[in-house]
Amino acid sequence: MNEIFLDTETTGLSFKDGHKIVEIACIETKDLIPTGKIFHKLINPKRSVPDEAFKVHGFSEKFLSSKESFDKVVDEFLSFIKNKKIIIHNAPFDLGFLDGELGLLKRETINKNVVIDSLEVARNKFPGASNSLDALCKRFNIDLSKRFKHNALLDCELLREVYINLLDAKEPKFNLSTNTVGQSVSTVKDYNKKIVKISDFEIKKHKDFVKSELKKNFY
């Protein structure tokens, strides 16, 4: 089963408060090595973008007004993630929005059994420490120079690098073009250490442990 690294950007913190998705990005990998397949869409939320959200991702209401709405991209999105493991940092946040959008369209929500929350993995490995994506990048000396604002596609690549380090595996570097919506080309190089592939049994065992030992929070 291939993996998907997924991230979203939104108009706010909670779908229940009326906020919506403005960007979805997914990078497909096989044994954590990019396949070159990418799903990336900017979404018209059909609502205003608060100043606080604009400061985070830089997408204005005017800019997003010309983009497709979620219902126009949902089939392509669901097809892209079908039958794949999904790795998300702070999964409850992104899943809350995705499930909310899917629910409005009377579509089946995302299967949580295939989701791995990298925040839970990080908390298990570094209990008590800051485990935000930025903090983990700094801990693993991952380059953040291109991250002027939050960008879902760039954050997927950063998450992939972080997750590999969390598994104590070597990060295979590749170049990612972020200026094309819907597609991109990846080149794998400098891969010189074995990637650790975790089994479904190991994932379930880990998730059961985390749920019993750690409290979730949402940052």
| Structure tokens given for 215 | 């409290």
Rg from Cα positions in the chain: 17
For 4-44, give the DSSP string.
EEEEEEESSS-GGGT--EEEEEEEEEETTEEEEEEEEEE--
Rounded Cα distance between 192 and 163, Å, is 17
Q: CA dist 186 to 12, 81, 150, Å?
A: 31, 18, 21
Residue 150 falls in the annotated catalytic set: yes
Rounded Cα distance between 187 and 218, Å, is 34
Which parts of 31-141 fold into alpha helices (H)?
51-57, 61-64, 70-81, 91-104, 118-125, 133-139
What DSSP state is assigned to residue 103? H
Among residues 19, 57, 89, 150, the one annotated as catalytic is 150
Strand partners, 4: 28, 86
Rounded Cα distance between 179 and 55, Å, is 20
Which residues are part of the catalytic machinery?
A: 150
